[in-house]
Structure 1
Amino acid sequence: MDLISDLPEEILCHILSFLTTKEVALTSVLSKRWRGLIALVPNLDIVHYDFRKSFMDFVDRVLALQGNSPIKRFYLGLGGTGCIDLDRVDSWIQNVMLRGVSEIVLSIFDDTESVANFRRMLPKVFQNKKLVKLELSYGFDISLMCGSSFLPTLKTLVLRSVSVTVDKFEILLHDLPALEELVLSCINWIYWGVTVTVSNASLKTLTIDTCGYCVAALSFDTPSLVYFCYSDLVAKNYSVAKMENLFEARISLCVNLEDIARARSPHNILLEDDEDNNNDIIRFSNVWNLMNGIRNVPCLVLSPNTLEVLSICCESLPMFINLNSLTIKSDVSRGWQAMPALLRKCPHLETLVLEGLLHHVTDKCGDACDCVSREEKGRSLTSCLVKVLEIKGFKGRTKEMNLIKHFLNYFPCLKEMKIYAEFKVTEVSEFMREIMMEQYNNSSSCNVQLLESDNLYEKWTA
């Protein structure tokens, strides 16, 4: 007995909604019961890499079978070679819009002339009273589509590898009163040296990934934002950064080796004959505007490159008075110069997560670690109220073990240390016991856990 076929139609359609439209069509061979289900499936997921007549006819037949039945999601992914019939594609989109589609995802990748023309079509995509999510990828020219936008219920907008002018982008955001999530990835802003302003009162989640070389300055007027993920080149300026209600921020600034060399140089003296160097130092210094905008955040994640850039604007960093959890990702080729000042700017920090301990050694990180022997060693830690320290990617090297000792000695309020090892923890068990005996003699009250593959292997209590 076919137990699946005996399920109610609504359950079968829900199961089929997780398949591509082509896969749903193939289920019609199972039995007569399955032949008509494709007309009731609320999602259309059309992916093809060879735009032939037989494929276009197939899509036409599916839409004809569905008639006027409601539809929730329409995904159209086209790529490869073949001449795209723009009129038929446009008719498909018009069809699902008339049926009340709430989510449209268009991903069309091809370098033929037909796709170049396709970038200029579909203006009605931006005129839909019921659309909740819109995602456009690869080559669309948004400037030619959003001249008269009307998307009163749109909550999510994803733009990847599309072209747009700054003025049309700002008009578009203004026409989205219900927008909650915005993703900008590899945007072509068309003109060089532009100032991009992200301004929307309802926006809660903002992700920027490689905004583009042509951006000179970035501004954020997003008072309702709670999540901010920013991974891009360092802009020349961040003139406005209003994010008062931010809960979590992830900052990953992109820099090259020359930028790193400039960040480590004595940057307090600008060289008259080195204009490029001076411009880059000023550009990195302006990052403090961005950090000032996120100063109220409780949870902050910084990349290794970001920590290097922050070393230039250490003195101008704001006080992160609400910061409770700080995650710092480390790399053996990136330094911790900004670590001492950053920890001193976090008066209420309770949880510190270090994804890797190995870093490039400089004389500026000495009072946060034991890399360089100096009189103020550990000073920035003694004023820090961290209670929980998590160390990820522990490799069992001598430098790492010395740093663990250093943290246990200088963090005055440390109650728990979790060490996530990348190997069998038995290889360093004796070392850990030695540390615990030393901490016991120092009357430490820190519980240290050595973990492997997310499972607690051993636990020592001093």
Structure 2
Amino acid sequence: MIHGCPELEELYIHHIYTDDREFEFEDIPPTPYYLYHDNIKKLTIRYIDDESYRNLKIYTPNLVYLDYSDSITCEFESENCLNVLLEARLNLVFGWRWRLSNEHINCSKIMDSICNVRILYLSSSTVESMCGWGVCISRINIGGNVVKVLEIQGYKGRLGELNQVKFFLWGMENLEEMKVNISDEIENKLQLTNALLALPKRSSKCNIHVL
């Protein structure tokens, strides 16, 4: 909670995790982190190499821009306060040390919270997370079908990514532009480009740009 800055409109949180503990206590409940502020409009949260079992609660009813990078092991709650959010950038990653059983729930909560977003940026790992751990892509109604611009970064053409892109193109009836940035690690970019451009689209206005 931020009490001393009632007029604050932009907040950037950059957290680098350092584990100096000798033991892990997996039975301890997750540590809650609260961010309550009525005036913030632009919020950037980046957790780097942090796989601790956390609970992040956000109450920012006037937020219009969200840039969120974190491990998908973090429990995310927004209390239905992101209704005016217009642009979101998500970078959700699986933990490299362990995986829990709640990743699909956390992923669904985040996606459900951005109900009115118009512009959406997803990292390749986020797209994979939406397909991983049994998350049913047909249940995730991103942006309430009002997304107009969608950008996927670091695309590698893996099966999970491809299936999710198919769902986006067919499920987002108001989508006008999809940008897919192919990872620099990929050598067969032409093959991936042709495969993406050949996918069926629900919206006749939708243009696919492969970068």
Q: Please, what TM-score do these two structures have when normalized by structure 2?
A: 0.75
Bigger relative CO (Cα 8 Å, ≥ 6 apart): 2
**Which of 43, 60, 63 is 1:222 aligned to?**
60
Relative to its length, the structure with more helix (as a share) is 1
Relative to its length, the structure with more strand (as a share) is 2
294 and 398 in structure 1: CA distance in 2 versus 1, 3 angstrom threshold: closer
Hey, what's the Cα distance between the residues in 1 that align with 2:42 and 2:208? 32
Question: Which residue of structure 2 lines up, in the alignment, with residue 325 of structure 1?
Answer: 149
Quick check: 1:308 aligned with 2:128? Answer: yes
Aligned letter for 2:8? L
User: What displacement does 1:303 show?
Assistant: 0.2
**Which of 68, 93, 114 is 1:294 aligned to?**
114
Deviations 1:50-104 (Å, cap 9, x if unpaired)?
Answer: xxxxxxxxxxxxxxxxxxxxxxxxxxxxxxxxxxxxxxxxxxxxxxxxxxxxxxx
Aligned letter for 1:413? S
Task: Give 1:346-357 correspondences, 5 Å limit.
Answer: 346-356=172-182
CA RMSD of aligned residues (A): 3.4
Question: Which residue of structure 1 lines up, in the alignment, with residue 25 of structure 2?
Answer: none
257 and 316 in structure 1: CA distance in 2 versus 1, 3 angstrom threshold: same
Hey, what's the Cα distance between the residues in 1 that align with 2:65 and 2:206? 29
Question: Which residue of structure 1 lines up, in the alignment, with residue 88 of structure 2?
Answer: 249
Secondary structure at the residue paired with 2:112?
A: helix
238 and 402 in structure 1: CA distance in 2 versus 1, 3 angstrom threshold: closer
Task: Give 1:175-254 correspondences, 5 Å limit.
Answer: 175-186=4-15, 193-210=30-47, 212-241=50-79, 242-254=81-93
287 and 180 in structure 1: CA distance in 2 versus 1, 3 angstrom threshold: same
User: What displacement does 1:283 show?
Assistant: 2.3
401 and 358 in structure 1: CA distance in 2 versus 1, 3 angstrom threshold: farther
Question: Which residue of structure 2 lines up, in the alignment, with residue 340 of structure 1?
Answer: 166
Aligned letter for 1:398? Q
Question: Which residue of structure 1 lines up, in the alignment, with residue 24 of structure 2?
Answer: none
Q: Can you give the 5+ residue segments of structure 1 that lack an aligned partner in the other structure?
A: 1-169, 259-275, 360-392, 421-462
Deviations 1:214-254 (Å, cap 9, x if unpaired)?
Answer: 35111111111111001111144223342111111000012
Secondary structure at the residue paired with 1:179?
A: coil
324 and 333 in structure 1: CA distance in 2 versus 1, 3 angstrom threshold: closer
Of all paired residues, the percent bearing the same amino acid is 22
Indicate conservation of the 8 Å contact 2:181/2:210, yes or no. no
289 and 351 in structure 1: CA distance in 2 versus 1, 3 angstrom threshold: same
Task: Give 1:413-424 correspondences, 5 Å limit.
Answer: 413-414=204-205, 418=209, 420=211
Hey, what's the Cα distance between the residues in 2 that align with 1:225 and 1:249? 10
Question: Which residue of structure 2 lines up, in the alignment, with residue 46 of structure 1?
Answer: none
User: What displacement does 1:358 show?
Assistant: 9.7
Q: Can you give the 5+ residue segments of structure 2 that lack an aligned partner in the other structure?
A: 22-27
User: What displacement does 1:317 show?
Assistant: 1.1
- Report the structure number with the largest CA radius of gyration: 1
Hey, what's the Cα distance between the residues in 2 that align with 1:403 and 1:348? 19
Hey, what's the Cα distance between the residues in 2 that align with 1:291 and 1:401? 29
Aligned letter for 1:244? N
Hey, what's the Cα distance between the residues in 2 that align with 1:254 and 1:396? 24
215 and 201 in structure 1: CA distance in 2 versus 1, 3 angstrom threshold: farther
Hey, what's the Cα distance between the residues in 2 that align with 1:333 and 1:396? 9
298 and 196 in structure 1: CA distance in 2 versus 1, 3 angstrom threshold: same
Indicate conservation of the 8 Å contact 1:358/1:400, yes or no. no
User: What displacement does 1:319 show?
Assistant: 4.7
User: What displacement does 1:318 show?
Assistant: 2.5
Secondary structure at the residue paired with 1:338?
A: helix
Secondary structure at the residue paired with 1:214?
A: coil
Aligned letter for 1:220? I
Secondary structure at the residue paired with 2:77?
A: coil
Task: Give 1:368-387 correspondences, 5 Å limit.
Answer: none
User: What displacement does 1:200 show?
Assistant: 0.3
User: What displacement does 1:257 show?
Assistant: 6.2
Secondary structure at the residue paired with 2:57?
A: strand
Question: Which residue of structure 2 lines up, in the alignment, with residue 14 of structure 1?
Answer: none
User: What displacement does 1:345 show?
Assistant: 3.9
Question: Which residue of structure 2 lines up, in the alignment, with residue 400 of structure 1?
Answer: 193
